[in-house]
Amino acid sequence: MNIQLRHIYRFTLAGFALLSACVPARKFEEIKAKQDRCEADNALLKSQNEDLTVKMTELGAELTDFKKRHEGLVGDTAVLGKSLRQMTQNYDKLNETYELLLKNNKEMLAGSRTETEKLMTELQKTQSNLQKQEDALKLLERELQAKQKDLERNSQELSEREAKINELQGILEKKDKAVEDLRKKVSDALLGFENKGLTIEQKNGKVYVSLEENLLFASGSYQVDTKGKEALKKLAGVLADNQDINVLVEGHTDNVPYKGSGQIKDNWDLSVLRATAIVRILTENKGLDPKRLTAAGRGEYLPIDPSDSKEARQKNRRTEIILTPKLDELLQILESN
Q: How confident is the model at residue 129 (pLDDT cuts 50, 70, 90)?
A: confident
pLDDT confidence of residue 330: 53
Q: Are residues 195 and 317 part of one domain?
A: yes
pLDDT of 167 > 70? The answer is yes
Query: Is 151 among the domain residues?
Result: no
From 106, 127, 143, the end of a domain falls on: 143
Q: Are residues 241 and 117 part of one domain?
A: no
Each residue's pLDDT tens digit, 107-123? 877 777 888 888 889 88
Rg (CA), the chain: 60
3-class secondary structure per residue, 168-233: HHHHHHHHHHHHHHHHHHHHHHCHHHECCCEEEEEECCEEEEEEEHHHHCCCCCCCCCHHHHHHHH
Phi-psi group of 322: left, alpha or beta (phi > 0 → left; psi -120 to 50 → alpha; rest → beta): beta
Q: Are residues 232 and 121 part of one domain?
A: no
Q: How confident is the model at residue 140 (pLDDT cuts 50, 70, 90)?
A: confident
Q: Are residues 330 and 196 part of one domain?
A: yes
Q: Are residues 135 and 236 part of one domain?
A: no
Each residue's pLDDT tens digit, 278-334? 999 999 999 999 999 999 999 999 999 999 999 999 999 999 999 998 875 555 655
CATH number of the structural domain spanning residue 310: 3.30.1330.60
Closest by Cα among 335, 25, 285, 329 to 170? 329
Query: Is 244 among the domain residues?
Result: yes
Answer whether 254's CB lies under 8 Å from 303's CB: yes
Q: Which helix (H) or strand (E) is 325 found in, with range?
A: strand 318-325
Query: Is 209 among the domain residues?
Result: yes
pLDDT confidence of residue 80: 61
Query: Is 111 among the domain residues?
Result: yes
pLDDT confidence of residue 218: 92
Looking only at the bridges linking them, the beta strands covering 293-299 and 318-325 are unpaired
Each residue's pLDDT tens digit, 34-49? 878 877 877 877 787 6
Q: Are residues 211 and 108 part of one domain?
A: no
Q: Are residues 310 and 208 part of one domain?
A: yes
Query: Is 168 among the domain residues?
Result: no
Query: Is 156 among the domain residues?
Result: no
pLDDT of 33 > 70? The answer is yes
pLDDT confidence of residue 113: 81
pLDDT of 77 > 80? The answer is no
Q: Are residues 208 and 139 part of one domain?
A: no
pLDDT of 76 > 70? The answer is no
Q: How confident is the model at residue 29 (pLDDT cuts 50, 70, 90)?
A: confident
State what percent of residues in the chain have pLDDT above 90: 34
Please give the residue range of the domain that contains residue 320: 190-336
- Residue scoring higher pLDDT (67 or 73): 67
Query: Is 183 among the domain residues?
Result: no
From 127, 143, 159, the end of a domain falls on: 143
- Residue scoring higher pLDDT (161 or 221): 221
Q: Are residues 248 and 134 part of one domain?
A: no
Query: Is 55 among the domain residues?
Result: yes
Q: How confident is the model at residue 101 (pLDDT cuts 50, 70, 90)?
A: confident
How many CA within 13 A on the CB side of residue 40? Answer: 6
Q: Are residues 109 and 12 part of one domain?
A: yes
How many domains are contained in the chain? Answer: 2
From 81, 112, 143, the end of a domain falls on: 143
**Range among 38-42, 70-74, 163-167, 225-229 rated most confident:** 225-229
Q: Are residues 330 and 195 part of one domain?
A: yes
**Range among 9-18, 46-55, 190-199, 311-320 rated most confident:** 311-320
pLDDT of 220 > 60? The answer is yes
Q: Are residues 253 and 132 part of one domain?
A: no
Task: Report the mean per-residue pLDDT for the chain.
Answer: 83
pLDDT confidence of residue 206: 93
Measured CA distances, 46 to 3, 12, 94, 221 (Å): 11, 15, 14, 140
